[in-house]
Amino acid sequence: MIHAAEGGAGILFPIWQEMLIGAIAFGLLCFVLIKFVFPRMEQTFEARVDAIEGGIERAERAQEEANQTLEEYRRKLATAQEEAAAIRDEARADAVAAKEEILVSAREEANRIIAAGHAQVEASRQQLVRELRSEVGNLAVDLAGKIIGQRLAGDADTTATVDQFLTQIADETAETSGAR
Amino acid sequence: MTDSAIVLAEGESHFPPGIHSFDFADWFSGLSETALAHMFTTITMVVWATVAILIVFFLWAYRKPQIVPTKKQWMAESAYGFIRNTVAIDLMGKKDGVRFAPYLATLFLFIVLMNFWAIVPGIQISPNAHIAFPAMLAVLSWIMYVWVGIKQHGLAKWLKITVVPPGAPAFIYPLLIPIEILQNIILRPVTLALRLFANMFAGHLILLVFILGGFEMLNSSNIFIQGLSVFSFAMGIAMTLFELIVILLQAYVFTLLTGMYIQGSLAEEH
């Protein structure tokens, strides 16, 4: 037919009816695939990329969070250890201070007691000396009066002599008490 | 009646195959003398079957797309993703690639399946062995890259980019510009159409030669020649496998070149 009628070159001339059919058929195919199928594929590709990237991102976020928590715990632990050490040191210092204080107060108390004892002893001695002085004086005067007579009683010179005599005694007593 | 119809009717030998082997009779003989001639033939039936198979497969496979694809969804995605990634995005980059990938993928799938009929038993003719179909596709590719170029740059600038080779001295323009016009505007669709058509035409002819030749030898009265027909059939099978490579390759080449022409229209320099 066409080919035969136009010789061998006829095969190079397209049959317009076939071109028309081809164009309609291909147009229909393009319409359906380009409108309904391939855009959805692109959407799926994007969703897939999102899903994968989102998963990685989520994992990274979780990892970071875990690291942060770990870091925080470590920090807290370190702080707690430091605090414990500080408390321990403080307690130790407190104990030492308390010990010192007790010792100091005890020493003071002891000194005070000793001092009080000394003072009391001294006071007793002074009292004794005073009592003795007057008594010994009286005794001596009485004695002397008895020995040398009534006249001598109340004479001033005699009193001075007695005092001198007593001072001498006191000095001797002091010497003996110092040697004691 | 057509020549081939006469041949079929009289039951004569088809050998040797020739251009008459590419004539297919109208299914309704009453249409032969009208404008509807050639519209209802094995060829057009195969074209419709191609379109129907692709539409049904893709709509079915992509009915409920999921993040983790099913097997059929994966197959559909691979078919699209192959052209999208290796042709469209490789040539034009991510943004323009994704824009033109749907057309290029449709083009590729259409040509592959149209070509594939060349080795489907019982059909063994590709519509692309009729130049009407490659010509139609080439015209579409031409319209597309011209349209994209004009839309991207404006008519004057696109023409300049396309027909004025950069870096050439001005005195050589009278020589170069006609060559560039011929090459970039006129011959591109012609070579696109002829390459695909000629491959499918030749493939069909080669298969006919070996298979019909085998039958011819088998019908011979000479027992020796009858025995040799085995080799002819074996060659027919080998050529069918070879044809499979041509089918895929030519579809890929057509798509790749269309992609390159579009990319050339998008680019600033050609």
Instruction: Identify all chain B residues contacting A51, using CB atoms and an 8 Å cutoff.
Output: 67
Contact between B75 and B222 (Cβ < 8 Å): no
Best CA proximity match to B110, nearest among B266, B261, B258, B267: B258
The pLDDT value recorded for residue A5 is 45
Residue range(s) defining the domain that contains residue B123: 64-266
Q: Identify the closest residue of chain B to A41 by CA–CA distance.
A: B77
- What ipTM does this complex have? 0.87
- Whose tokens are 């000793």? That residue is A114
Provide the greatest CA pair distance for chain A: 203
Nearest to B110 among A2, A29, A42 (CB): A29
| CB contact at 8 A, B91 and B261 | no
Mutation choice for B interface testing from A6, A13, A18, A32 by most B CBs within 10 A = A18
Does A45 score more than 70 pLDDT?
yes
Domain count for chain A, please give it.
1
Buried b / exposed e along A34-65 (16+ C-beta atoms within 10 A) = eeebbeebeebbeebeeeeeeeeeeeeeeeee
Q: Is the residue at A59 inside a domain?
A: yes
Report yes or no on B243 lying in a domain: yes
Is residue B32 in a domain? no
For A106, the domain range is 15-179
- Copy the structure tokens of residue A150: 């009534």
A4 found inside a domain: no
Measured between CB atoms, which of B81, B98, B136 is closest to A19?
Answer: B136
Residue B47 to residue A14, Cβ atoms within 8 A: no
Environment class of residue A91 by beta-carbon count within 10 Å: exposed (0-12), middle (13-18) or buried (19+)?
Answer: exposed
Please indicate, yes or no, if residue B195 is contained in any of the structural domains.
Answer: yes
Assigned domain for A48 exists = yes
Average per-residue pLDDT for chain B: 88
- Spatial separation of the C-alpha atoms in residues B258 and B149, rounded to whole Å: 13
Note the pLDDT tens digit of each residue in B100-112: 999 999 999 999 9
For residue B22, being part of any structural domain is answered with: no
Nearest to B51 among A2, A29, A42 (CB): A29
Assess if residue B108 is contained within a domain. Answer: yes
A7 in a domain, yes or no?
no
Sign of the C-alpha dihedral, residues B99, B101, B107, B113? negative
Distance CA B80, CA B57 (A): 13
In a domain, B113, yes or no: yes
pLDDT at B156 over 70: yes
Global confidence as pTM: 0.70
Q: Write the DSSP symbol of residue B220.
A: S
Report yes or no on A148 lying in a domain. Answer: yes
**What is the mean predicted confidence (pLDDT) over A124-141?**
82
* Contact check, Cβ <8 Å, A39/B110: no
- Please check whether residue B149 is in contact with residue B162, taking contact to mean a CB–CB distance below 8 angstroms: yes
- When divided into structural domains, chain B yields a total of 1
A-B C-beta contacts closer than 8 Å: 123
